[in-house]
Structure 1
Amino acid sequence: MKILTLILLMLMAPFVLADEVKIELNPAKPVVGEMFQAIFRIFTNDDVEPVINFSPFKVEVVGKNNYGIKTSTVFMNGKFSTSREMTIIYDLAAGQAGIAGLRDINVQLGSKTLRHPSLTFNVLKEPEVAADVFVMAEVPKKQIFLGEGIVVRYYLYGKVQVTNLDIKKYPKLNNFLKRFLQEPDRSERVTVDGQMYVRTQIYGAKLFPEKTGELKIDPLHVSATVSTSRGGDPFGTFGMGREARVKSVSSETVKVEVRPLPEEGKDANFTGLVGKHDFDLHINSTRLIVNEPLEVKLTVSGGGALENMEAPSIFKHDNLEEFESNGDLKIMDADQATKVFDYTFLPKADLTIPASTLTLTYFDPDSMRYVPIQLPVSELVVAGGTMQKKKDEKPVTPETEEKSIEMPKIPTSLAGPILEGARSWKSYLNLLNFGLSAVALLIALGIIIKKEKLPGFSSHSIPGSFKKGQFHLSEFTRWMTPLISKTGKSPLTVIKESELTPETKSYFIDLLNSNDYKDYSHAKGQLKFVYRSNSFKELDKYIQSVKNEDTTQSA
């Protein structure tokens, strides 16, 4: 029983009110010559008749109506208490437009006097008609920081049916970085100044201010075709006798104040992002060999201006070549986007970079402070660049260094024998010489053709497997056959003693050494090969020049 009584007290507690008077005006904006009402609501626990007093200012009291008493009873402090709400309505009228009101308002409740502030209102000369259709630009707040994102949405409000909508001019939105939003069209019923409207979003964008001060969000201009019933048409209610009108409407300009970011706490690690963001760093391997690619991925997620964020520096070393990083931006919704930075590095020599920490900072507008995020970066070790020669390679001595393979020289012509004797042979001498010369020429030409068909000379371009990122030492050796045949030396020695540029020499020397000692790689013995077009083209040109030189000498 006690529990039930307690529940009843809690339910009835809102009705236990102290003595109070409330006044409402209906309509809120009265018109000259039209009657309006001042509604007095008096709340009291006393069983007395109220006496209302006030002084009208530029209005006339036309009548008074008592709409009765509403009572409620509750049990409190061991006894029942009754609360009364009395409603009294005064009919008023104004003879001129302008400021009017009720002054010196008080209500007598027996020995008590309730006072109310003066009620002031504006009397209109003509009735104010709410627009059938209008456009409004809405933003969540009008004070933001530099670089802080806000979403502006343009809505169409309509009390009547809109059959067609045409956007005549989009907002320029200067001084903002713009991220246009593709959001589904949604319609909902809302109340504006006591009027019911259907609200539909027609345009949206996320804006990031690029300068401080007062910035303007431009209006959106649209042309709307609305369907309304003709005045006095008895069939308008049933959809008949309706007419279509084209109305041009625009939203009002919205002004926002952009404040600068505080200097206190800002450092070189600031990314330029405003608002909470998440960071993730991934490194594919920290133990590499020379010329083995290093791939790093940095992922940043949040609602800030990721379009403006540059790739932060992760590794710096003279023997670590960094290629251009790529940033891929993906937008999920108005409040969330992700940008992924892909880095590629190529170690050119042995190196060790100690473990460190990558610190990235964003500004939190709610707490008004810079928030640092620390990402651990593991130690990076690269080896394999100091290995000198293949295990089975014989040392080069002065004798073997000078030794070279000599190609057989082909006679360019044969002279016919000079015959002396009987005069009868002289008449055939020229014909015999011509025949022998032709035979010699055919022999030389056959040798040259046969030589051109040897496997070592069959390649006229760079093997396609290299261009596809596949390196095989056997194929590389066949490609260099003209140089190896001429010098009789290993590919590594040929490269070292060639006339190639120092950069190309270094690239191929490191490549061959890495291939010899690829067991050091974490990738189970598979060499990660990066194809350098310029270096391969230079070596190919050198091979062709040597090949052509040998062909010319043989001819």
Structure 2
Amino acid sequence: MKMIIKIVLTAILLPFLALSQVKLEVKIEKTNLKLGEVTQVNYVFNEEGKNFVPPSFAGFNKGGSYVSSNEVYDNGVYSIQQVYTFVIQAVKAGKVTISPANIRFDGKVYSSKPVLVSVSKEKVSEVIQRNQNPPPIPKQTATSKTIAGSNNLLFVDVEVNKTSAFVNEPVEVYYRIYLAPNLDVELNKKIATKFNNFWSQTEDIQGGWERSVVNNHVFKSKVFKKAILYPQKTGKLEITPITLDLNINYPTGDYDFFGQPEYSMARREVVSNTKHIQVNPLPEKGKPDNFTGAVGKFEFNVNVQKSELKSGESLQLDLIVSGNGNLKLFEIPKPSLPSNFEIFEPKHQEFISENMKGISGKIMDSYTVIPQEKGVFKLKPQQFSFFDVQSKSYKTISSDAVDLNVLQGENQANIAATSKSKSVVAAQKEEAKSGFEFTFMHFIGAVSLAGFALLFFALKRNKKTVEEEVVTEVKPVKKDFSVTEIQDFISNKELFYQKMEVKIAEFLQHKFSLEKADFNKENIIQKFQEHNVSPENTTDFIGLLQSCEKARYMPTSDANMQLDFEKLQHLVKVIGV
């Protein structure tokens, strides 16, 4: 009776036991291969296992692999299905056995069955998509190359048009994704690229797939992003890898009722390879004295508003640099003018286009110039220098000389008339004085001793007064305010100019009661004028502020930083706090 009950229970429970059986199955795409042919092997585990150990795949080259998981609904029961996918290439002819894979679950180890594969001696030149029709890939755009470590089903490669460049020389960067022909991907979200030590311009590219052969493997590939980089420091600079968050559609190895392959989706992050650019400093040999950091291909012109004007009238002088290159990262040299021309700070304008061809356009400095005297003047040619990356040499452009005819202005005529009147009066006084010459000489002889005595005491007293006035005019620097500590940071450009900005801000707040929100060129000049700061010191102070601003995006040397430090130290002493 007990035996009958056992048989009945076994018959009832056997289907459920079979349904819940834990197993590791192996599914291979093809078991008959040619030498060099590629196939796909899937290991399917119907639980959430751990410590999966793949076979060694002796006799095969192991390419890419990936893991996915699915929820399976079968006969009213949900279960988890883990899939471990490998792509292998036959490299040994004959009967080759793929050994079992192992996985651990609930304290037990489960193994797959071994697989026997027949590999013929016939070679295959290239691998095509199997058991399905791949998306059309135009053969005329096929590329063939070798990329280290790129046998995966999916990877991203960083391509550069050069691996060595000068500072501010443009470098083109292309991001290309490679994908096995039987896979499809979609981007989950855009991930911004960051380029340390480079000025950059990027663009997303919507292009079609190309057929590519990498390491004798066939892929479809396309460029999805391009960047133009302008290196800002020397040395070996890294192009930061890009990370993509992708949804991957891949074949499961099963087929539907109509014989079409079934697909599943897995989410995966893919990181590109890393590229380095060796950035060289611009050569010192042949560097012009007026070189300010321009790199590219440029033209230089000087325009004047008019060729004839009166003394005391203003004239606009435009210095224009146009072309392709780092237009935002250098200054136009100041013009050289005759000493009797008054010149004011320029108005800077930029007309620049930034795209994937680089930076192009023009920049212009417009100066207001006022001649102080009449005459015919020749403004000598102005010069602009840049580094030409094509010829790897410095180029200097000279403008044409400018002839200016300065007529006598009203102010100058008044000054001349006044001078003439003074000369006439002086002559009349001299003539009148000559009539009393004999009597006056006798008088001087009588009072000379008394005069010298009075003069001695007057000069002595006056000297004391002048010394007191000088001491009052230039106020001593307070002992608790010093700029010497920023000299310790000269070896670190960013930190040095940050510290300098802080010191300048403290100085302006204490001396002129200027709040940080009011720190602009116009307000500073106005305050300096109110406190009778000389135009030369005002110009030098504004120049220091510009140096701090440029330090964020332009290279500089320790020598320039030392000069800026000494200039700030001098201005603080002269202007006072």
Query: What TM-score, normalized to structure 2?
Result: 0.43
Query: What TM-score, normalized to structure 1?
Result: 0.44
